[in-house]
Structure 1
């Protein structure tokens, strides 16, 4: 059986959980409270030296970290990875971009507002500027004629990875009312994966 160590408040952890649920895989969830240092204990860092969640442990005891690496491993040979080489490359592009240009701003602003209790005035202006830049890039992509998904013509891992923090961006102070294509996409991705 698979074991998934994660914090239920984390979009990076939730996207792995959502994929496991969508795949119908049998797994055990172990809650790790990152706010109290749960991923920094000697026991946890012995398993994952980066001290981060999510961490997936396979039945043979081997651990795998980094949410998008876990997604790619679990979704191998499924419809969530496009067959077309170019569409697959575009999916990968969005996965890399998510961790470098979206999550560090949208998710960090959310964490600071929702979990550290910072006010809007206390959030670094650069976080908000770059977060809005990321959301605007997604809006532009999803506003292309006939475009429903980020990569290819059907839902992919790119959509799953990016919906995790985009759907709760408002908790970080990002008003999504000016992003109609993005809001429609969130609904489609949630429906595709049964996310409530």
Structure 2
């Protein structure tokens, strides 16, 4: 099995993190988005949307979209609740991650970390800050009285949101303002088979 991605991308890292937690063997193929490696004819055959991550299974079937990939590999594992309501709440957080969290936290980080905060995107970067803090405040409140987003155990909700949250400072967001998030990040990092984003 091959995974095409960039470990510095939260959307790719969340896949790498789950595969590490589950000890699933795979070959990691680095893709440089800044050099348009997602726009080559070869890549577009795998994912016409031109985005990472992409998983090519052993039988050559292809999976795209990070949270869909998480769902595929976590099926029948403790990372997906069996209770119907709890599972819906997990997906609620995962939709929140893609539609509310990622467009603020991840984009601000991309502008700063990947692009070096260019002047032509400075206004956009500044506009993302208040919304990003609103998103982090929602997570802080949710983690106020529980260890993980759904309660006392790690689920895909945590894995999907951890990826960009734990490096939110690289997008200009001071995580010291959110002690419950900081403690939650530490709990994720203490999980067996945890792998850091900067791991080779």
TM-score (norm 2): 0.92
Map residues 154-165 of structure 1 onto 2, 5 A cutoff: 154-165=153-164
Q: What is the CA deviation profile of residues 34-79 of structure 1, one whole-angstrom value per residue up to 9, with x for unaligned ones?
A: 0110111111001111110000111111111000000000000000
Deviation at 1:123, TM superposition (A): 4.5
What secondary structure does 1:59 align onto? coil
Question: RMSD between aligned alpha carbons?
Answer: 1.5
Deviation at 1:174, TM superposition (A): 0.3
What secondary structure does 1:4 align onto? strand
TM-score (norm 1): 0.94
Map residues 1-196 of structure 1 onto 2, 5 A cutoff: 2-118=1-117, 122-124=122-124, 125-143=126-144, 145=145, 147-192=146-191, 194-196=194-196
Deviation at 1:119, TM superposition (A): 6.4
Whole-angstrom distance in 1 between the partners of 2:133 and 2:17:
25
Q: What is the CA deviation profile of residues 72-119 of structure 1, one whole-angstrom value per residue up to 9, with x for unaligned ones?
A: 000000000012111111000000110000011101100101111116
Deviation at 1:194, TM superposition (A): 1.4
Whole-angstrom distance in 2 between the partners of 1:78 and 1:91:
14
Whole-angstrom distance in 1 between the partners of 2:7 and 2:78:
26
What secondary structure does 1:70 align onto? helix
Whole-angstrom distance in 2 between the partners of 1:67 and 1:82:
19
Higher relative contact order (CA 8 A, sep 6+): 2
Contact residue 20 and residue 195 of structure 2 kept, 8 A: no
Contact residue 87 and residue 152 of structure 1 kept, 8 A: no
